[in-house]
Amino acid sequence: MKNIVIATIATSSILMSASLQTDAKNAGLKAIPTSTLELMKIIDNPKNPITNEKVELGKKLFFDPRLSKSGIISCNFCHNLGEGGDDGVEASIGHKWTANPHHVNAPTVYNAVFNDIQFWDGRAKDLEEQAQGPMQAHPEMASTTEHVERVINSMPPYVTEFKKAYGENVKISFEKITDTIGLYERTLVTPSVFDDFLNGDKDALTSKEKAGLKTFIKVGCASCHTGIGLGGAMNAFNVTGTYKYQNVGDFKGDKNGMVRVPTLRNITQTAPYYHNGKIWSLKEAIKEMGKIQLGTKLSTKQIDSIEEFLKALEGRKDPVIYPMLPASTATTPKPDMN
């Protein structure tokens, strides 16, 4: 009898897990593929296919602060890969220690390839186009296209690497440089136990995480936080209420008031939350979302349950080894703090 009971419980658990996997997929949640081939179909850029040479070069460029006017600020400055892929402050800090004038928070670069569109207002179609923005924005890297081109072309090792990646006749333009950074960023993918679960491992999630996933779907979180990124598309904001820090900064979304839904992957590592970074507690962020997007007052039990699921979205990250950058030369632009 005891063995029968145990077998029944085990069978019931398997069926419940299978049902939850189906419910999650029906709600629009998708896993990062386990197959490298399948993943490449999603993250690759047909116009500039990913290769090892381009990725390694893009990584160096991502970490090189000389692309900024001051020679201090790299892409990694605001998108710290050793942490959550962001900078961990409310409003990002840029040139001359300037806080973003719109009080906008830096989104994570991890899994950004799964976004439908880039920037909080969706003004860039992909990561390659997005990489051009911060470099030229005065409150950020304060650079120019000419400065960036001069920096890279002044260092023979960089020129050699571009030729190796793109061919002997490559023109090292601003667009080619930012395209290479964007291509590197496409590879910053962090699968988690949630993906293992959706990909068929019924035991990948704990019972609390499974309960949290059920709550997440039931209350309607998956209506916006969907797809592989659990976010990344444009959506209306302040649907059923007004964000309590709405007046901090002047960001109002795109011309239609739409805001890009942030990814929930690695959400435990990307505080503070919301476009202006005014909420530091994940529980408070969940509570506020319920009020302004779902029109419901989530209970403490529901909030705790959803948070438990969100913890399962912390992804596996490759160790970040800082690249050795080429030495500056006599023709490399000097740092300019003005």
Do the domain assignments include residue 330?
Answer: no
pLDDT at 5: 45
| Structural domain count, the chain | 2
CA nearest 112: which of 93, 86, 91, 133? 86
pLDDT at 238: 97
Q: How many helices (H) and strands (E) does the chain have?
A: 13, 4
CA nearest 164: which of 43, 65, 51? 51
CATH code for the domain in which residue 295 is found: 1.10.760.10
Whether 173 and 82 map to the same domain: the answer is yes
**Secondary element (H or E) of residue 94:** strand 93-94
pLDDT at 11: 45
Tokens found for residue 311? 């913890």
| Cα–Cα dist 119/177, whole Å | 19
Do the domain assignments include residue 230?
Answer: yes
Given 186, 207, 228, which residue is the final one in a domain? 186
Question: Which residues participate in catalysis according to the annotation?
Answer: 140
Whether 54 and 72 map to the same domain: the answer is yes
pLDDT at 34: 97
pLDDT at 9: 42
Whether 200 and 124 map to the same domain: the answer is no
Counting as low any pLDDT under 50, the low residues of the chain are 4-12
Whether 58 and 31 map to the same domain: the answer is no
- Residue 236: which domain range? 24-35+192-311
Q: Side-chain half-sphere of 84: how many Cα atoms within 13 Å?
A: 20
pLDDT at 8: 43
Whether 150 and 80 map to the same domain: the answer is yes
pLDDT at 18: 84
* β-pairing verdict for 234-236 and 98-99: unpaired
Q: Side-chain half-sphere of 94: how many Cα atoms within 13 Å?
A: 24
Coil, helix or strand at residue 259:
strand
Q: What pTM value is reported for the model?
A: 0.94
- pLDDT tens digit sequence for 197-218: 999 999 999 999 999 999 999 9
pLDDT at 3: 56
Do the domain assignments include residue 216?
Answer: yes
Whether 140 and 260 map to the same domain: the answer is no
- pLDDT tens digit sequence for 106-124: 999 999 999 999 999 999 9
